[in-house]
Amino acid sequence: MMAYEDAAVAMDWLVRAFGFAERQRMTDKQGRVVHGELELSGNTVMVASPTPDYQGPKRHAASCEQARQWLKVPWVIDGVLVFVDDIDSHFARAQREGATMLSEIENGGPGRLYRAADLEGHRWMFVQRKAVQATDAPGLEQSDKKATIA
């Protein structure tokens, strides 16, 4: 569950900037989102505004020196990893919609990836998986890896 100061605004922004589809939005009598579900590429992220006293990372860092220090690095700290099908178009969309880009697209362990922060400062990593090569298939013996796969 991702907590947001204003989950309704955050949900709209996450749809626009990161391409999520809204699946569910439940509000309390004051109109605050108490449960929301977003989906992208088979990934589900739940969001809510837990309390009026909650502060997102960006606002918290404005009054906390320690938070400012750990947010200086471009890494995903207490964030979310989401797999996407097309990292290039996803990156362009996020950048166009005002995400704070923490990195360019990089080649990393699981595939091509980039890191970004959302409107409240939560950090996200988006990854396009590497194409699996026949030689990378688990369970094949070394002699099997030389075989031609039709």
Q: Could you tell me if residue 25 is inside a domain?
A: yes
Q: Could you tell me if residue 143 is inside a domain?
A: no
Q: What residues make up the domain containing 88?
A: 2-133
Look at residue 28 and tell me whether its pLDDT is greater than 80. yes
**Band of the pLDDT at 139, cuts 50, 70, 90?**
low
26: domain CATH number is 3.10.180.10
Look at residue 119 and tell me whether its pLDDT is greater than 60. yes
Q: Could you tell me if residue 20 is inside a domain?
A: yes
Look at residue 92 and tell me whether its pLDDT is greater than 80. yes
- The CA-atom distances, in angstroms, between 138 and each of 7, 109, 132 are 41, 16, 10
DSSP string, 38-75: EEETTEEEEEE---TT---HHHHHHH-HHHHHHTSSSS
| Structure-model confidence comparison of residues 77 and 121, the more confident one | 121
pLDDT of residue 138: 54
Average pLDDT over residues 20-48: 95
Q: Could you tell me if residue 141 is inside a domain?
A: no
Q: Could you tell me if residue 26 is inside a domain?
A: yes
Average pLDDT over residues 47-61: 93
Q: Could you tell me if residue 103 is inside a domain?
A: yes
Average pLDDT over residues 17-24: 98
**Residue 96 near residue 110 (C-beta atoms within 8 A):** no
**Band of the pLDDT at 143, cuts 50, 70, 90?**
very low
Q: Could you tell me if residue 139 is inside a domain?
A: no
Q: Could you tell me if residue 22 is inside a domain?
A: yes
Tally of structural domains, the chain: 1
